[in-house]
Amino acid sequence: MTARVGVVTFPGSLDDGDAARAVRIAGGEPVRLWHGDADLHGVDAVVLPGGFSYGDYLRCGAIARFAPVMETIIDAARGGLPVLGICNGFQILCEAHLLPGALTRNQHLHFRNRDQVLRIEATGTAWTNTYQDGQEILIPVKNGEGCYVADPATLDQLEAEGRVVARYLGGNPNGSQRDIAAITNAAGNVVGIMPHPEHAVEALTGPSLDGLGFFTSVLKHLVGAPA
């Protein structure tokens, strides 16, 4: 049976269509989820896409965190549901306390849009198991508030537990502490990433196909998950 991966649309979402397309290209069935509907419609995993949910008012992701669909996702994620937050989705995961730390204004105070090299450092997550440890990938980054910050104890814990999923190489685009581009929770089912893997799944439109592994990884994970 084809895995069903939900993609949430919030008011102001920008990349929900791209995320759904990436799921389809990877071999999954994308299921569109609406921010105001708490029902996840039986999906096997969820993607929180990039964009500007609720216009980024208050803080990026601060309002989206309280959307009806998020109340269900938070509970499901704590029960093991794979959840990937991309860019604004990463911000939402931090606001929902599914991931530690926060994403703040880029240190140089400019929006940054470029193709970015990352090094994959954790391959045991539901979203990165088809990569190799230390593999370098090229995917786009586009954000104005992508600077990952956390207190030193949290950063040390992430490092010690192997929960830094990816780091920036060849220059840090936003000033993120310790060059962190992506992290995971302790269970490995929730991943937040600031760059955009869904924009690197086709040769026609992406700088590479390197982002596809995030989506094939969750399908591989779901095949091996207990029924």
Residues 6+ apart with CB under 8 A from 223: 3
d(CA 127, CA 105): 26
Q: Which of 87, 121, 147, 199 is catalytic?
A: 87
Is residue 35 part of the annotated active site? The answer reads no
Positive/negative CA dihedral, 131, 133, 139, 145: positive
Return the number of other C-beta atoms located less than 10 Å from residue 120's C-beta.
23
Q: Phi first, then psi: what are they for 54, rounded to 5°? A: 55, 30
Q: What is the C-alpha R_g of the chain? A: 16
Is residue 110 part of the annotated active site? The answer reads no
Q: Which of 95, 198, 199, 221 is catalytic?
A: 198
**Tokens at residue 23, please?**
């799921």
Name the one residue in this structure whose structure tokens are 């969750």. 218
**Tokens at residue 162, please?**
């192997």
Judge whether 29 and 3 are in contact, CB under 8 Å: yes
Judge whether 201 and 209 are in contact, CB under 8 Å: yes
d(CA 214, CA 219): 9
Is residue 121 part of the annotated active site? The answer reads no
The catalytic residue positions are 87, 196, 198
